[in-house]
Amino acid sequence: MRDEDTYADLTALFTAEDREQEAKPFVDQVMGRIRAQALMRKLLLAVSGLGGALLAASQLPKLLADSVGLDASLTTSILQAQEDVSALASANPLWLGIAAIVGLSLAAVATMERT
């Protein structure tokens, strides 16, 4: 006789108790949280992608000026704007800290979440 057979009656009692607990709201709650997590992940990936695209775009004028000869005044004004932004960020390190935390959080979430 298997060990499990000696307590089949108790198992049946527990199973009956478990069956009473089954409820649709629980399934909906779990699936709702899964969908919310997936949505959040997509949002974070989109924000990360947008950040990366902006970063790449910020380098574009200089690249274009070097390679195809973009109008010098346009290049100068864009580069000046970039310098102003970085000077503003340097003046208040809090912004750099916030940017670092946001970046790290995005990286962590994107790494941990399943595809």
Partner 1 sequence: MRTDPDLAADAARGSEAAFAELVRRHQGRVRGMSRRLTAASGDADDIAQATFLTAWQKIGTYAGGTFAAWISTICYREFLQVRRRQRPEIEFDETAEIIPFDRTMADTGDKMDLSRALDKLPEAQRICVTLCVAASLSHREAAEATGWPLGTIKSHVTRGVAALRKHLAADQVA
Residue 39: half-sphere exposure toward Cβ, Cα within 13 Å? 6
If one asks whether residue 37 binds partner 1 (CB under 8 A), the answer comes out as yes
Q: Is 5 in the site for partner 1 (CB under 8 A)?
A: no
Among the listed ranges 31-39, 44-52, 55-63, 72-80, the one in contact with partner 1 (CB under 8 A) is 31-39
| 89 and 96 Cβ atoms separated by less than 8 Å | yes
Sequence letter at residue 46? A
Q: Per rule CB under 8 A, is residue 101 in the interface with partner 1?
A: no
Contact call for residue 114 and partner 1 (CB under 8 A): yes
Exposure b/e, 54-69, CB count within 10 A at least 16 = b: eeeeeeebeeebeeee
> Is residue 11 part of the contact set for partner 1 (CB under 8 A)?
yes
Q: Is residue 11 a contact partner of residue 79, using CB atoms and an 8 Å limit?
A: no
Q: Check binding of 73 to partner 1 (CB under 8 A).
A: no
Given the rule CB under 8 A, which residues bind partner 1? 3-4, 6-7, 10-11, 13-15, 17-23, 26-27, 29-31, 33-35, 37, 113-115
